[in-house]
Copies of this chain bind each other. A is one copy, B any other.
Amino acid sequence: MASRTRLANDAWEALLSAHARLMKQFAAEDIWQDLSMREYDVLYTLSKCGEPARIGELHRHVLLSQPALSRMVDRLVERGLVERCPDPADGRGVRLSLTEAGREQQRQIGRRHAGSVARALTAELSPDQLRQLATIGWKLAGQPAATGASTSDNKEMAHR
């Protein structure tokens, strides 16, 4: 049982190290145009969340404090990438959506970034390992299954 603790901590440290290394590698690439990776992350999340999305919803997916996120949205609105409308169903809330410019910039950057990600990960991992990582990651993220990786037979899913 103590070894189980050790196993878990080693796995977590490995995840953190992988995260740090790849984030640095991606950040160093010249594909981000005039926005930071965090800003891109918000645009990307917005495009995936299904717009219009609430700030609270964004906040569940982005590693930023709520006030920081609120102000980042300010800037993105000011730059014409995001629209902020009052929510007709809840006077406290706001509805966020990408503008056409925001969507377009997200797509441009996203295409290149997806290429970098694919190159970095497929260089190190087998297809089975990619599937394992997806399964494990989504599980830790609290999202049972996920997009499309579940279509292929993944023996490891037998572990629950």
Q: Which residues of A contact B (CB under 8 A)?
A: 4-24, 61-63, 114-115, 117-118, 120-122, 124-143, 146-149, 156, 159-160
Is there contact, CB below 8 Å, between A14 and B126?
Answer: no
18 contacts between A and B (CB under 8 A): A4-B118, A7-B131, A8-B117, A8-B120, A8-B122, A8-B125, A9-B117, A10-B148, A11-B133, A14-B141, A18-B136, A19-B63, A21-B141, A121-B140, A128-B159, A129-B156, A132-B133, A132-B136
* In-complex Cβ contact of A149 among B5, B7, B22, B132 (8 A): B7
Chain B: minimal CB distance from A21 (Å): 5
Q: Apart from A11-B149, A17-B140, what 17 extra A-B contacts exist at CB < 8 Å?
A: A6-B148, A7-B134, A8-B118, A8-B120, A8-B121, A10-B146, A10-B147, A11-B125, A14-B135, A15-B19, A17-B137, A19-B19, A20-B61, A126-B160, A129-B156, A132-B133, A132-B156
* In-complex Cβ contact of A18 among B10, B13, B15, B122 (8 A): B15
